[in-house]
Amino acid sequence: MSEEIDGGVEQTAPIWAVFGDLMSVLLGAFVLILVGVIGVQLELSTRLDQEVKERQVETQRRKTLEQALAGPLAAGRVTLVNGRIGISGSVLFALNSAQLQPQGRDLLKSLAGPLSGYLKARDEILMVSGFTDDRQVRDGNRRFADNWELSAERALTVTRALVDEGVPAASVFAAAFGSGQPVSSNADEEGRARNRRVEIAPVPRPSTATVKPRE
């Protein structure tokens, strides 16, 4: 009888040992999962803090730019739509001319600092675009062959003025659109005046990756 009882005890002892090992494994796995979750939470929290700081800096840059534009916006000399700064052609240039007027140069000078600050630490550059109305260049004007050339010269003039005022040359370029992108009807003088403009807009910086030539 005693031998049977002893035999039963010996058979159940390994079960408790296996159960203890299993609990140890489960506890270890739980600890590892918990450590992993805490690590992920810390990483997410760090990223969130970094994004919040970056957004605060971005908001301050935009605020500075908007403050610089407040006066011209109120006076109707510029517009701000979807991040594109539109400057009336009459503010910058006389009709059929690509030579900056004094008020135009003063306006660009006031924008150069905020624009430079906006571009700082951003992977963007400024595209300065020239636009005209649909009227052909005045007869007898030997300097410009057509509206394409006029819009190109105006964009280049604004680009050079911004660089002269401190905007990095590598962060700005000129583009010409002629009369092809009107924002208003060319049926009357008021609409044509709105179409004669220069726009300044941030765009992604082109990739610096070298394109492998075809063999």
Q: Render 53-78 in DSSP notation, one character per residue.
A: HHHHHHHHHHHHHHHHHHHHHHHTSE
Domain annotation covers residue 74? yes
Average pLDDT over residues 181-197: 91
Do both 63 and 34 map to the same domain?
Answer: no
Q: Mean pLDDT in the chain? A: 82
Confidence of residue 211 (pLDDT cuts 50, 70, 90): very low
Average pLDDT over residues 115-132: 88
Domain annotation covers residue 51? no
Domain annotation covers residue 6? yes
% of the chain beyond a pLDDT of 90: 34
Domain annotation covers residue 83? yes
Which pLDDT does position 100 carry in this prediction? 95
Do both 34 and 88 map to the same domain?
Answer: no
Do both 38 and 99 map to the same domain?
Answer: no
Do both 24 and 116 map to the same domain?
Answer: no
Do both 196 and 102 map to the same domain?
Answer: yes
Do both 185 and 148 map to the same domain?
Answer: yes
Domain annotation covers residue 211? no
Structure tokens at 155: 């964009």
Q: What whole-number distance in Å separates Cα of residue 149 and Cα of residue 45?
A: 53
What phi and psi values does residue 146 have, to the nearest 5 degrees? -160, -175
Average pLDDT over residues 101-105: 94
% of the chain beyond a pLDDT of 70: 81
Average pLDDT over residues 20-36: 77
Domain count for the chain? 2
Do both 88 and 16 map to the same domain?
Answer: no
Do both 145 and 80 map to the same domain?
Answer: yes
Model-wide pTM > 0.75:
no
Which pLDDT does position 138 carry in this prediction? 67
Do both 18 and 88 map to the same domain?
Answer: no
Parent domain of 6? 1-42
Domain annotation covers residue 118? yes
Amino acid at 210: T
pLDDT in tens, 136-176: 876 556 688 889 999 999 999 999 999 999 999 999 999 99
Confidence of residue 73 (pLDDT cuts 50, 70, 90): confident
pLDDT at 12 over 80: no
CB 131 within 8 A of CB 151: yes
Do both 142 and 106 map to the same domain?
Answer: yes
Domain annotation covers residue 9? yes
pLDDT at 194 over 70: yes
Domain annotation covers residue 49? no
